[in-house]
Structure 1
Amino acid sequence: MTTTLNMVKTGKWYDKIIGVRHVQCILCFFCLSLAYAWRVNLTVALVAMSERSNQTGLDEDVIEGNYNFTESEKSYMQSSFFFGYIVTQIPGGYIAQRYGAKTLLMMGLTACAILTLLSPLSLKVGGWQGLGAVRFLAGLTQGAVHPATHSLLSKWAPANERGMMSTICYSGSQFGTIVTLATSGYIAHSFTSWPGIFYCGGACGFLWVLFWWRFASSTPETHRSITREELKYIEETRSVGKMQDARKMAPTPWGSIFTSMPFLSLLIVHCTHMWGFWTLLTQIPSYMRNIYEFNIESSALLSSLPYAVMMILSFFFVWLSKVLQNQKSLSLSFNRKFFNSVGHWIPMLSLIALGYVPRENEHLAVALLTLTVGISAATYLGFQVNHIDLSPNYAGTMMGLTNAAANVMSALAPLAVGHIVKDPKNVNEWRTVFFLAAFFYFIGNLLFVVFGRTDVQWWDSPEPVDEESVEAGVPLAPDQQNGQKIIAKS
């Protein structure tokens, strides 16, 4: 008992087990939960809109005249979010890096919460075009979520906790999706009808903003209640390089970033990952319905099952990562590439197998689908945290770059499927889709394994060359050597 009290007084137990940095992590978890809940809510609401209700009041007032959307109108409403989402990826990462993630995320989610509350009214006043415009604006407000989260993690996460903290943060996306799918049906059949899906989501957003405003901070150095011990622990362990002051940060080294093979391999693996992931999420329901006559969308449990498994496995992989870290002979590079291979090459194999499951064995197909989506959670400990490994100072900007490119691939994947699959009941055409996604999974991870790195790159914290040291024969650090090469060339 005395030992425990002493540990609390010195800050060691508090700092290393339940420190302020973990509070930031939990807040980011719910940030991602809300962000993804607001993406999924329209998909569920559209189903509820198509069902004529016997309820009176708000249901009849709002829904009347908005039932008979064409498939084209539905696709425009759903895709309008992503058109806005892509636009603010790179600016969002740059702003978070320069001015801090706290204010950017607070403003973005506040705006998105307001737009979520206005969604039913926009549909009543402006029809599907009005709702599409609101969804586009919501996408603009969310574009900075991933880059800003990465920027915040780069400041708060010690190197040995980086994988764990990023996994906890990003598993919020599955949690938000699961909760939305599980509860929206009940909300839609309550007295609020389908508008309640948007009202509940928007109200939760304002609750999160209050906690974020009170307890969050862009950096450990600016947090009001962090202990000296925890601050010292984070500063000494978060990066091999030097964290720059955001107010005095060197200009973003765009040329060095785009000529860096570790970054380019990261860019490619992010794009190929999103191609496979969104091919699954957008096309598998159609595949199951046409090949197995199994309507997976009709069951909230089956719709959320892959996400639930993904969330559970993400925490299992965190535990496994900690076990591997305790093996001193295994490097961080091995850790990243091992988990990325698990998250890409096992889905690659299960996708190919899915195309050969007999029509009468739909339950095996569901199991393979769940495995394919669920085990991709391993990538949270792979490429998805590698931006911070390469450059803690510019991690937000780099996440904006790769996520913007990856979301373009997310939009192209369904279009490619539309060109390949002419007859939805032709299993051979679907096999071509799966082989293409498997090929992308293979190539992306192969490049990451070969060219991926985990050491901080020299351009992360450039330092001016000390000419007196050079003349005196003092050896230069790698970043100074590269700086000297640049000066010499110029």
Structure 2
Amino acid sequence: MGLNPKRSSSEDGVPNMVDLVRPDFLYGARHTQAILLFLLITISYGMRVNLSVGIVAMTDPDASPNPDVPTYSWDDTNVILSSFFWGYVIPQIPAGQLAKEYGPKWFLAGSSAVGAAFTILIPFAAPLGSWAVILCRVIQGLSQGFIYPSCHNLLSKWTPLEERSRLSTFVYAGGPFGTVLALPFSGWLSGTSLGWPYAFYIYGVLGFLWTGMWIFLGENSPADCNSINPIEKKYIEVSVGHSKHLSPPPTPWKPIFTSLPMIALIIAHSGQDWGFSTLLTNIPTYMENVLNVDIKSNGLLSAGPYFAFWVLSFVFSAITDYVISKKYVSTVVARKVANSIGVFVPAAALTALGLISNLDFDVSAITILLLFIAVGVNACCYCGYQVNHMDLSPIHSGTLMGISNGISNIFAIIAPLILQFIVTDEKNPLQWATIFYISSGVYIGTNIFYIIFGSGEIQPWNDVNYKTTHNRNIEKVMDTSSVITYRC
């Protein structure tokens, strides 16, 4: 195996240096890192969402055939569901900074281990009262608050520009995939004689297993990876312009917070989190109380839309990378089109959900189809705002993700709490319709702002020396005769 000797050229006839160092082997160290991050997010989302089904079983004496499985009478279930995000928003910006300064490897290891420990503790905390479960969820949120900024930092160093949408989407698709696994599994387990506590025990053990794998296989960057093939290392570093020997520049806080493209990204992220968190935390409750779906079927049907999300994320990311690499459209146009598909179609589906709530005949099948559309097509956002941080600033991408994820998740807290005030009768479809209309409006309004002010270009505040550094990296491979002699 070695370099791909194909000489492609840019539009002005100058050889494309990234193509000159592109390896011809299909699997490399960057793929190992992507798989590990995918597994982390899959398990972490399982820890995050299994309570959405578990809370139904925890408050339903008939959920398990085993009378020894404890149940509780809580009137603050929506507060319990939203409490994860109370802790989640706090470390976002510091996590991005710490990952940039010290590398994200050990922060991810600690995040996984702490999250796993407090997942296992939830069944032991529940007898003390809902406040104890809330405390466990807050600490879970605090630990998982390090994950997305750290992952963004790693992806900015490990993903070549030409593969950014695909590899980033693969990693972040762990979210819907983890949801697909956790919701039916937790629903099924809650309906067995083992009962809901084992859903938490199993995910805690998985978290500890991942931590062990990451300690041995995870790396902060290609420059830190001793096992990486030198051809792949050169390919990645030429593409993204990173070097182990460059100290990260100071974070330009004022330019970041006064940048319209960054503000547009934050608003798009916030709108997405409002709608997504509303559905993620409440689809099981909606299924049970409005559609009268039992606990076992509830988990399976609740997971269905996220399976559609997971599958479609790969379709959308492949298309987005293709049109960008072929230069059919600019990066910014691709991001805005992808984001618009990802929110305008779900907004229409949520509006339709609200409208059919007034119908007198059974609309369960139509409702489930619309939920599939509302959640599934939302996957296109993974090719929009979700990777836009790396477009705006490869160097500060982890910090940017921390900023936008921290602010946006404030809305992930607010949305379920507003639902508690509006949906006073969980069996009333008209009250749920109001929630769907609000989410639809938020989707549309925030994306319009993103369309107007979003960008796909590296911003001046990224680093005044960035382009110079990137060009120097390219110059190092200009002697293609020596580059082509590399073999693995």
Shift of 1:326: 4.9
User: Given the superposition, is the C-alpha separation of residues 461 and 369 from structure 1 closer, same or farther in structure 2, using an over 3 Å criterion?
Assistant: same
Structure-1 residue corresponding to 2:92: 89
User: Given the superposition, is the C-alpha separation of residues 375 and 283 from structure 1 closer, same or farther in structure 2, using an over 3 Å criterion?
Assistant: same
Shift of 1:220: 0.8
Match for 2:418 among 406, 416, 419?
A: 416
Structure number with the bigger relative contact order (C-alpha 8 A, sep ≥ 6) is 2
Alignment of 1:230-379 (within 5 A): 230-238=232-240, 243=242, 248-284=247-283, 298-357=297-356, 358=359, 359-379=361-381
Matched, 1:386 2:388: yes
Structure-1 residue corresponding to 2:51: 42
Structure-1 residue corresponding to 2:158: 156
Structure-2 residue corresponding to 1:113: 116
Shift of 1:198: 1.9
Structure-2 residue corresponding to 1:471: none
Measured in 1, the distance between the counterparts of 2:373 and 2:251 equals 40
Measured in 1, the distance between the counterparts of 2:447 and 2:323 equals 20
User: Given the superposition, is the C-alpha separation of residues 94 and 20 from structure 1 closer, same or farther in structure 2, using an over 3 Å criterion?
Assistant: same
User: Given the superposition, is the C-alpha separation of residues 443 and 132 from structure 1 closer, same or farther in structure 2, using an over 3 Å criterion?
Assistant: closer
Tell me the SS of whatever aligns to 1:251.
coil
Structure-1 residue corresponding to 2:444: 442
- Conserved in 2, the CA contact under 8 Å of 1:99 and 1:246? no
Structure-1 residue corresponding to 2:404: 402
Tell me the SS of whatever aligns to 1:455.
coil
Structure-2 residue corresponding to 1:485: none
Structure-2 residue corresponding to 1:480: none
Matched, 1:98 2:101: yes
Measured in 2, the distance between the counterparts of 1:247 and 1:141 equals 29
Shift of 1:140: 1.1
Shift of 1:128: 3.4
Structure-1 residue corresponding to 2:27: 18
Measured in 2, the distance between the counterparts of 1:417 and 1:188 equals 25
Shift of 1:134: 2.1
Measured in 2, the distance between the counterparts of 1:433 and 1:42 equals 21
Shift of 1:428: 5.6
Q: With structure 1 as the length reference, what TM-score do the two structures score? A: 0.83
User: Given the superposition, is the C-alpha separation of residues 30 and 127 from structure 1 closer, same or farther in structure 2, using an over 3 Å criterion?
Assistant: same
- Conserved in 1, the CA contact under 8 Å of 2:191 and 2:295? no
Measured in 2, the distance between the counterparts of 1:121 and 1:197 equals 13
- Conserved in 2, the CA contact under 8 Å of 1:342 and 1:378? yes
Runs of 5+ unmatched residues, structure 1: 467-490
User: Given the superposition, is the C-alpha separation of residues 351 and 54 from structure 1 closer, same or farther in structure 2, using an over 3 Å criterion?
Assistant: closer
Tell me the SS of whatever aligns to 2:220.
coil
Matched residue type, 1:90: I
Provide, for residues 171-210 of structure 1, a one-character-per-residue CA deviation record: whole Å limited to 9, x for no partner: 1111111212232344446675433222211111122122
Matched residue type, 1:200: I
- Conserved in 2, the CA contact under 8 Å of 1:391 and 1:457? yes
Shift of 1:138: 1.5
Measured in 2, the distance between the counterparts of 1:414 and 1:385 equals 26
Matched residue type, 1:461: D
Aligned residues: 449
Provide, for residues 316-357 of structure 1, a one-character-per-residue CA deviation record: whole Å limited to 9, x for no partner: 112222442354332222211111111011112222222223
User: Given the superposition, is the C-alpha separation of residues 260 and 324 from structure 1 closer, same or farther in structure 2, using an over 3 Å criterion?
Assistant: same
- Range with greater deviation from structure 2 (281-290 or 302-311): 281-290
Measured in 2, the distance between the counterparts of 1:217 and 1:417 equals 41
Measured in 2, the distance between the counterparts of 1:344 and 1:296 equals 29
- Conserved in 2, the CA contact under 8 Å of 1:98 and 1:247? no
- Conserved in 2, the CA contact under 8 Å of 1:99 and 1:247? no
Tell me the SS of whatever aligns to 1:33.
helix
Matched, 1:218 2:196: no
Shift of 1:427: 5.8
Shift of 1:69: 2.3
User: Given the superposition, is the C-alpha separation of residues 370 and 295 from structure 1 closer, same or farther in structure 2, using an over 3 Å criterion?
Assistant: farther
Shift of 1:307: 0.7
Shift of 1:91: 1.4
Measured in 2, the distance between the counterparts of 1:47 and 1:416 equals 20
Alignment of 1:40-79 (within 5 A): 40-49=49-58, 50-51=60-61, 55=66, 60=68, 63=69, 66-72=70-76, 74-79=77-82
Matched residue type, 1:413: A
Matched residue type, 2:383: L
- Conserved in 1, the CA contact under 8 Å of 2:165 and 2:387? yes
Provide, for residues 102-156 of structure 1, a one-character-per-residue CA deviation record: whole Å limited to 9, x for no partner: 11101110121122223323335x3433333222212111111111111111111
- Range with greater deviation from structure 2 (343-352 or 28-37): 343-352
- Conserved in 2, the CA contact under 8 Å of 1:97 and 1:246? no
Alignment of 1:451-490 (within 5 A): 451-463=453-465
Query: Which has more helix, going by share of residues?
Result: 1
Measured in 2, the distance between the counterparts of 1:375 and 1:150 equals 23
Measured in 2, the distance between the counterparts of 1:42 and 1:183 equals 12
Matched residue type, 1:157: T
Structure-2 residue corresponding to 1:482: none
Matched residue type, 1:460: N
User: Given the superposition, is the C-alpha separation of residues 180 and 434 from structure 1 closer, same or farther in structure 2, using an over 3 Å criterion?
Assistant: closer
Structure-1 residue corresponding to 2:179: 177
Measured in 2, the distance between the counterparts of 1:311 and 1:167 equals 9
- Conserved in 1, the CA contact under 8 Å of 2:4 and 2:22? yes
Matched residue type, 1:396: G
- Conserved in 2, the CA contact under 8 Å of 1:296 and 1:302? no
Q: With structure 2 as the length reference, what TM-score do the two structures score? A: 0.84
Shift of 1:430: 4.6
Shift of 1:12: 7.5
Shift of 1:263: 0.2
User: Given the superposition, is the C-alpha separation of residues 113 and 289 from structure 1 closer, same or farther in structure 2, using an over 3 Å criterion?
Assistant: closer
- Conserved in 2, the CA contact under 8 Å of 1:294 and 1:362? no
Runs of 5+ unmatched residues, structure 2: 6-19, 469-488
- Conserved in 1, the CA contact under 8 Å of 2:317 and 2:382? no
- Range with greater deviation from structure 2 (81-90 or 386-395): 81-90
Root mean square deviation, CA, Å: 3.0
- Conserved in 1, the CA contact under 8 Å of 2:346 and 2:375? yes
Aligned-pair identity (%): 37
User: Given the superposition, is the C-alpha separation of residues 12 and 394 from structure 1 closer, same or farther in structure 2, using an over 3 Å criterion?
Assistant: closer
Measured in 2, the distance between the counterparts of 1:415 and 1:78 equals 9
Provide, for residues 212-236 of structure 1, a one-character-per-residue CA deviation record: whole Å limited to 9, x for no partner: 1121101110011011111110111
